[in-house]
Amino acid sequence: MSAVRVSDWLLRGTFGLFVGLLVAVPLAALIVTGLSAGPAAVLRAVADPMARDAIGRTLWTAAVMAVVNAVMGTATAWVLVRYRFPGRGALSALVDLPFAIPTLVTGLMLVLLFGPQEPVGAWLSTHGVPVAFGSAGIVLALTFVTLPFVVRAVEPVLQQLDPDEEAAAETLGASRALIVRRVILPAIAPAISYGALQAFGRALGEFGSIVVISGNIPFQTLTAPVLIYGEVEAGQPGVAAAVSVVLLALALGLFAITRRLRGRLRGTDA
Amino acid sequence: MGIRVEHLTKRFGAFTALDDVGFEVNAGELVALLGPSGGGKSTILRIIAGLDQPDSGAVYLDGERVDSVPANQREVGFVFQHYALFRHMTVAQNVEFGLHVQKVPKAERRERVAELLQLVGLAGLEQRRPAQLSGGQRQRVALARALAPRPRLLLLDEPFAAVDAKVREELRDWVRRLHEQVHLTSVFVTHDQEEAFALADRVVIVREGCVEQVGTPLEIMDRPCSEFVARFIGEANVYAASVAAGAARVGSVSIALSGAPAAGPARVVVRSYDLKLWADADGPVRISRMVPLGDRVRVEGLIDGEHPVVAYFPRRSSLLHGLEPGCRAAIEVTLARAYPCSNGTGATHVERS
Amino acid sequence: MPETLAPARPELRAVAQAAPASPLRRRRSAAPRLLLFAAVGAYLALVLIAPLAALAQRLGELGIGTALAALLHPEPLAALARSGVLVLLALVINGVLGVLGAIVLVRHRFRGRELLDSLVDVPLSVSPVMVGLAYLLVFGRGGWLTPVLEPLGLRVAFAFPGLLLATLFVTLPFVVREVGYVLEELGTDEEQAARTLGASRARTFWLITLPNVAGGLGYGLTLTAARALGEFGAVLVVGGAIMGSTDTATTFIYAAIEERQNAVAYGMAALLAATSMLLLVGLERLNPHRRESGGN
């Protein structure tokens, strides 16, 4: 390699400074403030019943959504990769929509569909499934927002499957179901996990769609990000920061795992 | 367990992959489907296995028609060109897959896997994954996997195409020996003429979806039934000439033809080893090149400055005395065949092996 | 040792004999396939299509003309303009620095590269409200940098610069990642060839590298624009959504809903949705992780 020059360091320095100021400094401020009253204070803030409930809700709604996405996202990827049908291109594009559309608009659309004044929403409400102002609404919003993750992770892996492996299993006597279970699924499982974990991590921080559809009712539909917002508005940045630290730890932990998985996925090819 | 295919036809859109293909394989035989790439050989194999369906025609295994039997019930062992090993399973799991499907109990499975890995010379590699194996090893695992559930016949689709040349030779010998041991009816597809002749009991030559000739290697070599087959098998000198009274003229050289060829325009085929050249100052041939090839020498020349001729001589042959590039030589043809020209086909472009 | 060739399942012979010969029999039954299509169809209809349809229907009820006319007032227009400026600045700043960053992270090797690489991905994991909070802690009342900036008269929190920083934060990874991905795939061969032909580093960059990454850059910029336009939580917290000075298109919608000004809220939402659709088309066209047209 050629000798390292001053211009190289100039480039690195510029970018490093930019990222440092933009990302590292605020992040540090958040963590330091959150921990400033000591770890005990963090635990106390998190142990507060409302906070505990909100964090719990954030976790389980994200988990439910991750499972739904893992199953249906894989099914969607399968349909998009293995079949040809009119409108396939449009459907494929539509799957990417959640990445393009503002989360607030998503929430608004869901309210229009499932709000208590709407025909669909009212009907569901009387049948015990209050979508708006209920946890079902949160799960639905999260599913919309993270829809592309699993589909995009699984699609390329499905495309690269060797059709001869399935043919070989057929000649060895396997039924279609067995082929799916023992030849195909193990091959795409890492991609499904990767997509689902990404979706889960994203869902932990979701704000825009939930704040509109859930009603933000403490102990019923309050999630952690909305709680943090509430604390900031109420002039309690310290509490907000403490809860943030917990959420951040979760998010960064997940992020580290998915980074590892991505490395492993990239290098998977016999 | 014999195979019979009859009147197989298959089209992909406007392209006809197979056109009325039919042949038989006797129980215990090792038969090669030989022909240029894209000729439909693999399609035939896949149809026999049930992986593809013909548009019309029938497949009989041991006298029974199996058209409606799905691939996973035909008890056919299949070895794919690129191995198609299950990449996330170990070697042992790959080999036992067919037994697993048959619900063979674990202990018995394990025993059979050990037996087969011993047979293919890969004992001890049970826990490896395909990615950790060489091409030759992978192909042997594929073979073991196909043989494990005791199939009624074995089909191999260009099994050595993806493997290094040196390993290819070893695998070839090894498959032949295996077949002599096991005598499982086998059909393999190849575009390599040498390979087909080295391994097979009989050869079916397939070109552009049609069967050109069926016979033992010797039969095909000595009595090729068409110009295509004659050119495809081994190196040959081919000339356009007119046949009259059982002979043809190429330049100033008269060549006696075997069989009783009809008079008229034809293609004359002379094998490189069916002719003699020797130094002669008045000869019609001028030598242009002599290429040493290990134990043989390839001699190239022109008859009457116009018609190319190629011959091979053993290194120490006395006929080589006095032959050198630029000198003149006499020629004698010991065996030649003529094929009448059909309208418009002209010369075929053919792969020489 | 010789193999025994007795078939494992002689009962299948009977099956083969009994079944009528039908070479055109379909290989797989259609039922599971239909079920799969139905399930996926229902899922996507519920989650993706129905909400869009609901918005379209409400717009229809209000009348598109009414909704769009409601936007033609000073406040919504100002909010839209502000969002527009934020998007443009994000495109330029993160576009240029993103290309720079991609080169630095992919082509260079230096101590601290891994850390820098991780930092670039952080915005993808952090909740928007936490982003806003973090900036408040730096630039707000009692913030870390406030004592430095206040005497200079520089307000960041509850002012436009704060909005800009938040927007830059959330859009940081896109160009860097997408251009980086393309750089990795392309390799250095072309650039090395240019160097052997005498080109300076700058020329190599402008004439070889940049055109080659144009596709990835376009894709990254489109993602940046979509994200910048749609950002809500962070700008809400940092800016305070002060009508007339720090509200963006999204915070405007939020305020409008709270005040039950439906026409302008849905109008703005529809406008943003339509813009997203356009950006989506751009995304599909430019996608370097091409989705192949496969199919059986």
ipTM of the complex: 0.88
* Model pLDDT, residue B344: 41
Q: Which long-range contacts (CB under 8 A, 24 or more apart) does A216-222 make?
A: A217/A133, A218/A50, A218/A53, A218/A54, A219/A49, A219/A50, A219/A53, A220/A133, A220/A134, A221/A57, A221/A133, A221/A134, A221/A135, A221/A137, A221/A138, A222/A50, A222/A53, A222/A54, A222/A57
Give the pLDDT mean for B87-96.
Answer: 92
**Predicted pLDDT of residue C1:** 34
In chain C, which residues have their Cβ closer than 8 Å to the Cβ of B152?
5, 7
Question: A87-91, A113-117, B101-105, B329-333: lowest mean pLDDT where?
Answer: A113-117
Q: Which of B339-343, C153-157, C178-182, C244-248 is predicted least confidently?
A: B339-343
Q: With 90 as the cut, is the pLDDT of residue C84 above it?
A: yes
On average, the pLDDT of chain B sits at 87
Residue to test with chain A: of B61, B93, B95, B97, most A Cβ within 10 A: B97
Neighbours, chain C (3 or more CB pairs < 8 A): A, B
Asked if B276 has any chain A CB less than 8 Å from its own CB, the reply is no
Helical H segments across A21-118, by residue range: 25-36, 39-47, 49-82, 88-95, 97-100, 103-114
Q: Which residues of B154-182 are buried (b: 16+ CB within 10 A; e: fewer)?
A: bbbbbbbeebeeeebeebbebbeebbeeb
CB-based contact B101 A171, cutoff 8 Å: no
Over residues B299-321, mean pLDDT:
87
The whole-number pLDDT of residue A267 equals 61
Contact A76/C288 with Cβ under 8 angstroms? no
Q: C125 contacts in A (CB within 8 Å)?
A: 201, 205, 251-252, 254-255
Q: Which of A170, A175, A186 sits opposite B51 (nearest CB)?
A: A170
- Cβ–Cβ of A23/C120 closer than 8 Å? yes
Angle between the N-to-C axes of helices A49-82 and A39-47, in degrees from 0 to 180, rounded to the nearest 10: 80
Predicted local confidence at residue A263, as pLDDT: 79
Q: Which residues of C touch A89 (CB under 8 A)?
A: 284, 293
- DSSP characters for B13-28? TTEEEEEEEEEEE-TT
**Which chain A residues have a beta carbon less than 8 Å from that of B102?**
173
Q: What is the pLDDT of residue C290?
A: 58
Which residue's structure tokens are 């993160």?
C94
Average pLDDT of span C222-228? 95
Output the pLDDT for position C183: 92
- Find the mean pLDDT for residues C1-28: 38
User: What residues pair up with B236 in beta bridges, in sequence order?
Assistant: B271
How far A154 CA lies from chain C's nearest CA (Å)? Answer: 11
* Dihedral over Cα of C51, C54, C59, C60: its sign: positive
pLDDT of residue B243: 87
Which range is most confident: B242-246, C96-100, C203-207? C96-100
Whole-angstrom distance, CA of residue C150 vs CA of residue C147? 6
pLDDT tens digit sequence for B40-49: 899 999 999 9
B135 versus C19: the higher-pLDDT residue is B135
Please, which residues 22-41 of chain A have a Cβ atom closer than 8 Å to chain C? 22-27, 29-30, 33
| Distance of alpha carbon A208 from alpha carbon A202, whole angstroms | 12
Q: How far is CA C257 from CA A55, A227, C72, C269, in A?
A: 27, 20, 17, 11
Low-confidence ranges of chain A (pLDDT < 70): 1-4, 121-123, 125, 128-132, 266-270
CA–CA separation, B216 and B214 (whole Å): 7
- B233 Cα distance to chain centroid: 9
How far C178 CA sits from the closest chain A CA (Å)?
A: 15
Of C255 and A4, more confident:
C255
Supply the pLDDT for residue C22. 34
Q: What is the DSSP string of B223-281?
A: S-SSHHHHHHSS-EEEEEEEEETTEEEETTEEEE-SS-PPSEEEEEEEETTSEEEEE-T
Pairs of residues, one from chain B and one from chain C, whose beta carbons lie less than 8 Å apart: 61
Q: How far is A49 from chain C (nearest CA, A)?
A: 21
B19 touches chain A (CB under 8 A): no
Per-residue pLDDT, C29: 63
Nearest-Cα residue of chain B relative to residue C15 = B69
Strand partners of residue B328: B286
Q: pLDDT at position A3, please? A: 56
Question: Are residues C127 and A156, on separate chains, in Cβ contact within 8 Å?
Answer: no
Q: Which chains touch B (3 or more CB pairs under 8 A)?
A: A, C
Highest mean pLDDT pick, A166-175, B221-230, B341-350: A166-175
Residues 6+ apart with CB under 8 A from C133: A30, A228, A232, A237, A240, A241, A244, C237
The pLDDT value recorded for residue C130 is: 94
A251 vs C49, C126, C138: nearest CB: C126
d(CA A202, CA A198): 6
- Residue A83 DSSP one-character state: -
Q: How confident is the model at residue C11 (pLDDT cuts 50, 70, 90)?
A: very low
Is the CB of C24 less than 8 angstroms away from the CB of B58? Answer: no
Q: Say how far apart CA A208 and CA C235 lie, in whole Å.
A: 11
Chain C contact residues (CB < 8 Å to B): 1-9, 12-13, 15-17, 19-25, 27
| CB burial readout A157-182, b (16+ within 10 A) else e | bbeebbebbbbbbbbbbbebebbeeb
Closest CA to C79 of C214, C279, C269: C269
Give the pLDDT score at B160: 87
In this prediction the pTM is: 0.81
Residue B133 has pLDDT above 80, yes or no: yes
Percentage, residues of chain C above pLDDT 70: 87
| Mean pLDDT value across chain C | 84
User: Sign of torsion, CA A73 A75 A78 A84?
Assistant: negative
Q: In 3D, which of B143, B152, B176, B147 has the Cα closest to residue B69?
A: B152
Sheet with B76-79: list strands edge to edge: B76-79, B153-157, B186-190, B30-34, B202-207, B210-215
- Whether B210 has a pLDDT exceeding 80, the answer reads yes
- Evaluate if residue B348 carries a pLDDT over 50: no
